[in-house]
Amino acid sequence: MADVSTLARPYATAAFELARDTGTFDQWQRALDALAEVARQQQVQFLLKDPRVTTAEQAEVFIAAAGDALDRHAKNFVKVLAQYRRLAVLPEIETDFTRLRAAAENTVQAELRTAVEASDAQRQKIRAALTQRLGCKIELHCVIDPDLIGGAQIRAGDLVIDSTVSGKLERLAARVTQ
CA separation for the pair 133, 147 (Å, rounded): 28
**How many angstroms separate the CA atoms of 128 and 22, rounded?**
31
Residue 40 confidence (pLDDT)? 96
Domain with CATH 1.10.520.20 in the chain: 4-102
pLDDT of residue 4: 82
Residue 117 is predicted with a pLDDT of 92
CATH class of the domain defined by 4-102: mainly alpha
State the DSSP string of 78-129: HHHHHHTT-GGGHHHHHHHHHHHHHHHTTEEEEEEEESSPPPHHHHHHHHHH
141 Cα distance to chain centroid:
11
Q: What was the pLDDT predicted at 107?
A: 87
Sign of CA dihedral 142, 144, 147, 151: positive
Per-residue pLDDT 10s for the chain (178 aa) are: 468 888 999 999 999 999 999 999 999 999 999 999 999 999 999 999 999 999 999 999 999 999 999 999 999 999 999 999 999 999 999 999 999 998 898 888 899 999 899 999 999 999 999 999 888 899 899 999 988 888 889 998 788 888 888 888 888 888 888 7
